[in-house]
Amino acid sequence: MGELLGLGVTHYPGLSGRPGRDASFFVEHALRNPALPDNLRTPEGWPEPMRKEWADDQGTAAVEVHRQALIKNLREARQALDAFDPDFVLVWGDDQYENFTEDIIPPFCVLAYDSVDIRPWSGESPAFGGNIWNEPEDKTFTVKVHQEAAKYLARGLLEAGIDVSYAYQPLHKPLGHAFINTVLFLDWDRKGFPYPILPVAVNCYGSRVISFKGFRGEPTAEPDPPGPSPKRCFEMGAVTGRLLAESPWRVALIASSSWSHANLASKNYYLYPDIESDRKLLKALKEGDYEVWKNRPPSAIEESGQQELLNWFPLIGAMSELGRRVNRTEWVESWVNNSPKCFAYFNP
């Protein structure tokens, strides 16, 4: 029987940038939104925690505190991964108009590659603000994929009535940045990442995946069809957990994303994330109240800018199926740095 470790991490692109970038990147963009109410155009109208982070340095100090907390937690997540020593690492990640574009947008896709070469600093994959490791633009990383396990998972999901796609080769990008950054960040100290991965792409962006194309504000074209619902993501994760628990492998299951994004939170005029909704989900996670997660409406996901949290619903579904409670959470909140982050540990 398989043994499973569950982890929740972030793949926040800005973390790869050099220190010193301030929060004004996000806030100033939001302030250009013509629909922003007048009372939100100055800090006097913002929520008090946001004003406190913004301070008199436009959020620079708060961003660095946030950054250091993320690095600390990523190192601790890597320690947990090494202590478990998995046969492979399954990563649920979103594809933001990277590998999947106008030709096909699958709700779920098991990426059953053999291995892929990635050059994250060359423009092949998105980098944000530079490269903190001072690695050259042509630096190539070879990411191994556990193809046998990918085929096993795709077959099992389909036989269980979960309609997933699978792929043996990439289309437009070797991997989306959700997967690339997860590997790079869990190897923060560059000691190597010896574990094959099993990437499972989730169409988190749904109605915005093509019409939005990563830009902030309202889509400029007719919204796309929706992505999978939170309930379906939860159900897919539950079947995944059962299948891998029945397998011969030791597997780390990783949900990779930040939580609500200011640049997607229409209810907050794209100025700050929906911290209140995030805190409710965090409370339910800590209390093991997985029904709150399973029954979250798709409309609430979009209004709150929680699209990328759909990567977490399969992990919660898997842990629910296995009767597992979270052992530890680390909450890294931010109002000016676009999104809060969460780290979670479900020990074997």
* Residue 2 pLDDT: 79
Mean pLDDT of 94-109: 95
Question: Residue 179 sits in a domain of what CATH number?
Answer: 3.40.830.10
If one counts the domains in the chain, the total is 1
Name the band, by pLDDT with cuts 50, 70 and 90, for residue 122.
confident
* Residue 218 pLDDT: 57
* Tens digit of each residue's pLDDT (9 = 90 or more) over 297-318: 999 999 999 999 999 999 999 9
* Tens digit of each residue's pLDDT (9 = 90 or more) over 262-293: 999 999 999 999 999 999 999 999 999 999 99
Question: In what side-by-side order are the strands of the sheet with 108-111?
Answer: 165-167, 108-111, 197-202, 88-94, 250-256, 3-9, 341-346, 328-332
Give percent of the chain above pLDDT 90: 83
* Segments forming the whole domain that contains residue 173: 3-346
- Average pLDDT, whole number, for the chain? 93
* Residue 219 pLDDT: 58
Q: How many Cβ atoms sit within 10 Å of the Cβ of residue 340?
A: 23
Query: What is the SS3 assignment for the chain?
Result: CCEEEEEEECCCHHHHCCCCCCCHHHHHHHHCCCCCCHHHCCHHHCCHHHHHHHCCCCCHHHHHHHHHHHHHHHHHHHHHHHHHCCCEEEEEEECCCCCCCCCCCCCEEEECCCEEEECCCCCCCCCCCCCCCCCCCCCCEEEEECHHHHHHHHHHHHHCCCCCEEECCCCCCCCCHHHHHHHHHHCCCCCCCCCCEEEEEECCCHHHCCCCCCCCCCCCCCCCCCCCCHHHHHHHHHHHHHHHHCCCCEEEEEEECCCCCHHHCHHHCCCCCCHHHHHHHHHHHHHCCHHHHHCCCHHHHHHCCCHHHHHHHHHHHHHHHCCCCCCEEEEECCCCCCCCEEEEEECC
**Which of 161-165, 208-212, 292-296 is the least confident region?**
208-212
* Tens digit of each residue's pLDDT (9 = 90 or more) over 203-249: 999 999 988 764 545 556 788 999 999 999 999 999 999 999 999 99
Mean pLDDT of 27-54: 94
Name the band, by pLDDT with cuts 50, 70 and 90, for residue 127.
very low
